Structure 1
């Protein structure tokens, strides 16, 4: 089975401040999404896992586009993934993005340790999704708990899925809610 891509979008945000002192350099958050035809829309299919292998090149392509927008994979400190399934699909169809989306970013970024946080939903055209972000090497780094928004004005149609990825060059601007600091990461188990 191939992946029928209707459109791809990439967005780069630079956040200079959040009401407090300016951040230098600014926080950069990049998102990329692809809107694809859902081959399982409108019917129940028991065996769907095989489609994950077909989605892997798409995950790599989106990861490459985000890294190109940032300019340097070494700058990436946080990541996340998500999917918006059109109304003729199932939430489980969006779950097929876990491996191709997450592992693609991990492959491109090198030896990351932490899980890639994820969100998925079902919705009509214009649905937006907040992708949760977390530190790439230690899931308990509270300053990097954040989110990046994905969506498209014309997607997903009922028989489509919008698959998205997000990367950021740091944690929240002016983070000061405590918890494990970046300077205390051990990076051994993906948690601390």
Structure 2
């Protein structure tokens, strides 16, 4: 697999083939890729909502400025953040480390206390922004994995988060939507698929010191 070739193949898909579906195996790869995404401290204060049901997705199109990809794609991925990060989240994280790695409490205690203190010093807005930064890392990772797997995708910031949250009842899960990523397979009539990529030259984009 030539990764650069696949990244050149990738584009923000404007029109999906509504008849084509991701296999269970392909969808599982995306779920695992999301879960394996690097996050600050490994705390994972973001969640992935996978929406396949088209009846649920139909009203979401209006909340995404009528971008049809939300409905026509095989699945809609909604990257969310927790409404807040609590002490219990940090404690649960370090408990998980202890269970998986059998790390001693002596080693974990100072790190746990430092992270609890760090989060307590932030405002709710600052904690949400901290989580939002992690969401963008996950988006980039998912888009790259999609390209490698031959899956088309279209990253979206252009939507009404509160409307999406209400429609999917994310508040009941303590979540807020941040990014949308419809995934599936491009329609053969999507003219954008054949457009050449417009990028700066490597010399303009990369500075070597």
Using structure 1 for the length normalisation, give the TM-score: 0.33
Q: Report the structure number with the largest CA radius of gyration.
A: 2
Higher helix share: 2
Higher strand share: 1
| Higher RCO structure, 1 or 2 (CA under 8 Å, sep 6+) | 2
Using structure 2 for the length normalisation, give the TM-score: 0.31
